[in-house]
Amino acid sequence: MRRSLVVIAFFGVLLLIWQAATASGRWSPVLLPPPWAVAEYLWDAARDGSLLEATIVTVKRLLIGYVIGIVIGLPLGLLISTSHYLEDTIGALALGLQTLPSVCWVPLALLWYGQTEFAMLFVVVMGTVWSVVLATNAGARNIPPIYARAARTMGSQGIDMWTHVILPAALPYVVSGMKQGWAFAWRSLMAAEIFVTILTGFGLGQILQYGRELNSMDQVIGVMIMIVLIGLAADRLLFSPWERLLHRRWGTGIK
Amino acid sequence: MSTTNLELQAAPPAKLVVERVSKWFRTPRAQVLALDDINLQVAEGEFVCLVGPSGCGKTTLLDIMAGLTKADEGRVLSDDGVVDGPGRHRLVMFQEPALFPWLDAFGNVMFGLKRKPGLSDNECRDIADYHLRLVGLEKFKHAFVHELSGGMKQRVALARALAPDPHVLLMDEPFAALDAITREQLYGDIQDIWRKRKKTIVFVTHDVREAVCLGDRVFLMSPSPGRIREEFTIPLARPRDINSPELAAIAQRITLALRSHLVESREAAE
């Protein structure tokens, strides 16, 4: 209760500062619209459905690409962890491609796939997959060897060892890799949507870009707020439950 | 399923034979003979202790019996033939509890049971519950590993090793990291469980008193190269109290023997 009051007070003060800044008249309202103008845009866009539609388009692209990235990245990371040769080759490639900002995939994706949904998907997958590969590999390599020894004496081997010992033991690494993969995927998707118009669906990045073209700052800020909210919601809904589970079982984190 | 029923189901304990086992450790610069021509026979239902200073190869020998390490020469025979890999008939209790943090106490005990063929889910649960009761942790069934004390962790590890009903239990200094009071409680518990469950146990330790307290026979090992030097039969009645003077007297005799072997092997090295 007390903590939520503090949160409300904090954001209330931020809004007040914003309001005071616009009321001072030092900045043109075209460049810095007041909070209520942004709220009005969000309200209208929510009512005519354009905001919801763009959000659905964007989140759908993101989720599909992200899930594909994990489905490829997890087994590939586990595979790399089994051999030094694979780590020196595929692992090095993954590390190189992970350091490549994922927006750099956009030109390539456009040339290969044209202005299609698949190009978007490709960019998101490339943003996700390398982080997941590297984190899974690191996680599997950092497991205390005694876990595998104990499991072997109890009759665990092969696939069972991977799914019931190595993967769960590597979970703290895997979850942080998935979180990083999500961040990269989200950033690259926004860049791609701003960069290219795809006629099969207007995402948040696209309506953000229209805001600029229309010189409509309330739309620009409104969509930015929406993007921030989605990021927060993803953190709360997708990652917090996992992190809480890990903290509870491993006894890590501050109570 | 009742308690007595489960006790009756215990498989007949098996003999374990170590035949002319040798093992080298190779480093880039040197070859060290870790185990030199080890011969050992463990009878059914016997409690055998291997005692020696660190570096005498006792843990390596236990690993070879478990099938976790391969011997360079010789072989280990268990009731199911030559040991050539780890198997659920020879379960190991390690120095660290080696419990899985992603499972609770019950889940850890269930791990080996689920991988044992021929048990239904319900039977697994009953057996796991029975063994948690056996080690006195039924109230901590759903506790996670980090919520347990050091002694409780080793109790869960003991329940986990006992639950799949192995023929042989291999214990590698399982109490070394515990405080003296907890350790003494566990000496009582392990003797009690051993008597109830009729297991064949090989127990590795560097603590002579611990070995005398637990073992029917104690094998004395010395380092470089790792050898079995002497065998002692412990005639004391059970349950044994580690603080009793009779036990202390035997432990003293073994300690003296150990010292003379250490001097010998040092002189041999020079």
Which domain, by its residues, includes A217? 34-250
- Residue B14 pLDDT more than 70? no
- Domain limit, last residue, from B124, B145, B165: B165
Q: Specify if B4 maps to a domain.
A: no
State whether B33 and B155 are in the same domain: no
Residue A47 maps to a domain: yes
Q: Do B72 and B38 fall into the same domain?
A: yes
Residue A122: which of A130, A113, A131 has the closest Cα? A113
Domain that holds residue B118: 99-165
Among A144, A147, A154, the residue with its CB nearest the CB of B115 is A154
What whole-number distance in Å separates Cα of residue B148 and Cα of residue B268? 47
Q: How far is A85 from chain B (nearest CA, A)?
A: 22
Q: Does residue A2 form part of some domain?
A: no
A154 to chain B, closest Cα gap in Å: 5
Does pLDDT of B236 surpass 90? no
Label residue B219 left, alpha or beta by phi (over 0 means left) and psi (-120 to 50 means alpha). beta
Based on the fold, state whether residues B76 and B200 are members of the same structural domain. Answer: yes
Does A28 reside within a domain? Answer: no
- First vs last C-alpha separation in chain B: 62
B144–A251: do the CB atoms touch at under 8 Å? yes
Q: Structural domain tally of chain A?
A: 1
Instruction: Tell me what pLDDT residue A79 has.
Output: 92
Distance from CA of B57 to the nearest CA of A (A): 18
- Closest chain A residue to the Cα of B111, Cα to Cα: A154
Q: How many beta-carbon contacts under 8 Å exist across A and B?
A: 64
What pLDDT score was predicted for residue B3? 45
Question: What letter would DSSP give residue B147?
Answer: G
Asked whether residue A12 is domain-assigned, the answer is no
User: A234 in contact with B at a CB cutoff of 8 Å?
Assistant: no
Q: Based on the domain organization, do B159 and B222 belong to the same domain?
A: no
Q: Tell whether B74 is covered by a domain.
A: yes
- Return d(Cα B173, Cα B202) in angstroms, integer: 11
For residues B82 and B174, membership in a common domain is answered with yes
Residues B74 and B177 in one domain: yes
The residue among B120, B139, B165 that closes a domain is: B165
Residue B9 pLDDT class (50, 70, 90 cuts): low
Q: Is residue A9 part of a domain?
A: no
Tell me if B7 is assigned to some domain. Answer: no
Could you tell me which residue, B12 or B253, shows the higher pLDDT? Answer: B253
Task: At B266, list the tokens.
Answer: 């040092």
DSSP letters along B29-42, please?
S-EEEEEEEEEEEE
Count CA atoms closer than 13 A to A223's CA, side-chain side: 25
pLDDT over threshold 70, residue B174? yes
Contact A169 B98 (CB under 8 A): no
Residue B72 domain-assigned (yes or no): yes
Position A26 in a domain: no
**Per-residue model confidence (pLDDT) at position B44:** 87
- Residue in chain A closest to B102 (alpha carbons) equals A249
CB–CB contact B116 A248 (8 Å): no
Q: Which residues of A touch B102 (CB under 8 A)?
A: 168-169, 171, 249-250
* Closest Cβ–Cβ partner in A156, A160, A250 for B146: A250
Averaged pLDDT, groups of 10, chain A, 255 residues long: 89 93 87 91 90 91 94 93 91 92 88 89 92 93 90 88 92 90 90 81 88 89 92 87 86 69
Q: Do B68 and A153 touch (CB under 8 A)?
A: yes
Give B144's DSSP letter: B
Q: Per the CB < 8 Å rule, is B90 touching A150?
A: no
Rounded mean pLDDT of B18-30? 84
Q: Looking at A173-182, A224-233, B4-13, B114-123, which range is the least confident one?
A: B4-13
Domain count, chain B: 2
Q: Is pLDDT above 80 for B12? A: no
Confirm whether B200 is domain-assigned: yes
Cβ-based contacts of B68 with chain A (< 8 Å): 149, 152-153
The interface residues of chain A toward chain B in range 167-206, judged by CB-CB distance below 8 A, are 168-169, 171
At residue A235, the pLDDT reads 85
Which whole number is the average pLDDT over B204-209?
Answer: 91
* ipTM score over 0.90, yes or no: no
Question: Residue A179's domain is classified under what CATH number?
Answer: 1.10.3720.10
Q: Is the pLDDT of residue B8 over 80?
A: no
Q: Does B144 touch chain A (CB under 8 A)?
A: yes
Residues B31 and B160 in one domain: no
Distance between CA atoms of residues A205 and A70, nearest Å = 23
Q: Which residues of A touch B60 (CB under 8 A)?
A: none
Cα of B196 to nearest chain A Cα, Å: 22
**E-strand spans in chain B?**
16-26, 31-42, 47-51, 73-78, 81-82, 90-93, 168-172, 200-205, 217-222, 227-233
Q: Could you tell me the pTM of the whole model?
A: 0.81
pLDDT score recorded for residue B10: 54
- Average pLDDT, stretch B109-124? 89
Are B94 and A152 within 8 A, CB to CB?
no
Residue B198, domain CATH: 3.40.50.300
User: Could A150 and B94 be called an inter-chain contact, meaning their C-beta atoms sit closer than 8 Å?
Assistant: yes
Is residue B5 in a domain? no
Minimal Cα–Cα distance from B2 to chain A, Å?
25
User: What is the reported pLDDT for B4?
Assistant: 46
Query: Do B20 and B152 reside in the same domain of the chain?
Result: no
Helix boundaries (H) for chain A? 2-23, 35-47, 50-80, 84-86, 92-99, 105-113, 117-141, 145-153, 158-161, 167-169, 171-195, 204-213, 217-234, 240-250
pLDDT at B58 over 60: yes
B126 and B242 both lie in a single domain: no
Query: Are residues B20 and B144 located together in one domain of the fold?
Result: no
* Res. B80 pLDDT band, cuts 50 70 90: low
Query: Does residue B114 fall inside a structural domain?
Result: yes
Is B94 within 8 Å of A149 when comparing Cβ atoms? yes
Position B2 in a domain: no
